[in-house]
Amino acid sequence: MTRLLTVAMLAALLGTPALSQTAPAEPAADAPQVAQAAPEAEGEDDDDEAEEAAAPLTQVQHHDYGPSGIMTRSNRADLAPLTLASGQPVAGEEYALQSGGFYRLPIVADGSAELALSGGDFFRAIWINEVVINDIEIRPMGVHSIEFDAAGEALISFIAIQPGRYTLSIPGSSGESQQAVFNIR
């Protein structure tokens, strides 16, 4: 008898998660309310107009990025290049980025000095797709800084993730022109 009772309790416990997954979810308290259609009286005709009138008043909008997802060309923006040159400003103005946006950022060094850009906080707030240097594509797990010993160009493609204000700056410099500011919304 106890074995039968134990088996019955196990079956009830194992069946509970499946039942809770199929039960209709209750709307969250902050979710927009959707008008419910009144039940039809017997004898009314089922036509398309009645179905259209019963459609929800608000709908959730989903982004349609297509088969390529978030990294499609329609979601990509090319940013103004960062310049690494002795005594020159790194960026002309602050960058305004959208969380979830796909960006390409060129970094150009003129070779006048050995310069680097450092910004661990910025690199942790984005997902780096790739860094391209001399037609060599690098797909890193993470980056803390990038340094140029000679003239050259690098292209970083990334997706902005975490909102906030971040900087890429030349290590050891204190001037505002020696940094690039990124505002992710």
The domain locations on the chain are: 69-184
Question: What is the pLDDT at residue 12?
Answer: 61
How far is it, in rounded angstroms, from Cα 185 to Cα 183?
Answer: 6
Per the prediction, the chain carries an average pLDDT of 75
Do you know the residue count of the chain? 185
What average pLDDT does this structure show over 177-185? Answer: 91
What confidence tier does 1 reach under pLDDT thresholds 50, 70, 90?
low
Question: What is the pLDDT at residue 175?
Answer: 81
43 touches 27 (CB < 8 A)? no
The yes/no answer on whether domain 69-184 falls in CATH 3.30.1280.10 is no
* The overall pTM is greater than 0.85: no
179 touches 90 (CB < 8 A)? yes
Model confidence at 13: pLDDT above 70: no
Please state, as a whole number, how many other Cβ atoms lie within 10 Å of the Cβ of residue 108: 15
